[in-house]
Amino acid sequence: MLRTVAISVLAAAATTGTARADFGRSAPRDVPPRQGGGAPGRVPAPAGVLTRLPGDGNQLALTIDDGTNTAVVAAFAQFCRDSGARLTFFPNGVNPSWTVNAALLRPMVDSGQIALGNHTWSHPKLTSLSKDAVADQISRNADFLRNTYGTDGAPYFRPPYGLHNADTDQVAADLGYTSITLWSATIGDSRPENEQQLVSFAERSFQPQQIILGHANLPPVTHTYAKLLDIINSRGLQTVTLADVFG
């Protein structure tokens, strides 16, 4: 079903010749593969808190966290493979989903379609931990990502629950994670919502240059992919990874 929708979207984009084609499987050939087609050019990843993408483009950064459910991570991976969508995962390495699905995800990480960031090893509230414990959470996850995916996701670090302070930011920066990557909008999937509610969230949140927070935890979102694609394409938005935007 998703494949059918994606192909029909591509066909529509091909016939209209709009930027929607950038959403498809193949990037334009005249730009470096890690840069999204039509991107206004890379800028350095900001040191400090990042909440939205810079500039006035048509980019949408989907960022998907945690991965407590192996089947949901697999569904997101299949969504990327079928649709060509570019997104950034923020895994917690403690969840087996990132190991079980590594063979499916790794080629898309290698190609740059999927980027990674660090979300700590086991998702604690960092502001309640000692600096040593914060460092251990970040570096353990960095080791896991490097060993499993060949990249540690630096400089992007997302503190669990968005909870951070000057101390946690400094520890992260000392480990190479200089961009505290928060978000500007959400698809509301951190709690068990029904599919229509998730789509309603997406209709509000999918706007140009937004960093969208989502989760690979609960199954309902996996039933909304076709509708999410419809919103993205009908608005002429282009999915990008954080690495597409910042260099």
Beta bridge partners of residue 215, listed in sequence order = 65
Q: Which is nearer to Zn ion, 42 or 140 (CB)?
A: 140
Query: d(Cα 55, Cα 59) in Å, to the nearest integer?
Result: 9
Q: Which is nearer to Zn ion, 186 or 238 (CB)?
A: 186
Pick the piece of the chain touching Zn ion (CB under 5 A) from 46-54, 128-136, 154-162, 228-236. 154-162
∠ CA 237-42-85, rounded to 5° = 35
Given a contact cutoff of 8 angstroms between Cβ atoms, the answer to whether 199 and 186 are in contact is no
Shortest distance, CB of residue 215 to Zn ion, whole angstroms?
7
Q: Phi and psi dihedrals of 229, rounded to 5? A: -60, -40
Query: d(Cα 161, Cα 153) in Å, to the nearest integer?
Result: 19
Shortest distance, CB of residue 217 to Zn ion, whole angstroms?
8
Q: Which is nearer to Zn ion, 117 or 160 (CB)?
A: 160
Q: Which is nearer to Zn ion, 64 or 228 (CB)?
A: 64
Shortest distance, CB of residue 237 to Zn ion, whole angstroms?
24
For Zn ion, the binding residues in 11-40 under the rule CB under 5 A are: none
Listed residue (39, 145, 28, 46) closest to 92, CA to CA:
145
Listed residue (194, 213, 220) closest to 72, CA to CA:
220
Q: Which is nearer to Zn ion, 107 or 161 (CB)?
A: 161
Residue 140: other Cβ atoms inside 10 A:
16
Pick the piece of the chain touching Zn ion (CB under 5 A) from 6-14, 20-28, 153-161, 175-183. 153-161
Number of residues in contact with Zn ion under rule CB under 5 A? 3
**Assigned token pair, 226:** 């076709």
Listed residue (136, 143, 144) closest to 172, CA to CA:
136
Q: Could you identify the residue written with the tokens 């700590």?
A: 120
Q: Which is nearer to Zn ion, 65 or 152 (CB)?
A: 65
Closest residue to Zn ion using C-beta atoms: 65
Q: Is 189 in the site for Zn ion (CB under 5 A)?
A: no
x/- mask, Zn ion, residues 43-72, rule CB under 5 A, reads ----------------------xx------
Shortest distance, CB of residue 56 to Zn ion, whole angstroms?
29
Q: Which is nearer to Zn ion, 59 or 141 (CB)?
A: 141
Which residues are CB-contacts of 50 (< 8 A; sequence separation ≥ 6)?
A: 156, 179, 180, 181, 182, 211
Q: Could you identify the residue written with the tokens 């604690």?
A: 124
Pick the piece of the chain touching Zn ion (CB under 5 A) from 55-63, 106-114, 155-163, 166-174. 155-163
Shortest distance, CB of residue 70 to Zn ion, whole angstroms?
16
Please report, as ranges, the residues that interact with Zn ion according to CB under 5 A.
65-66, 160
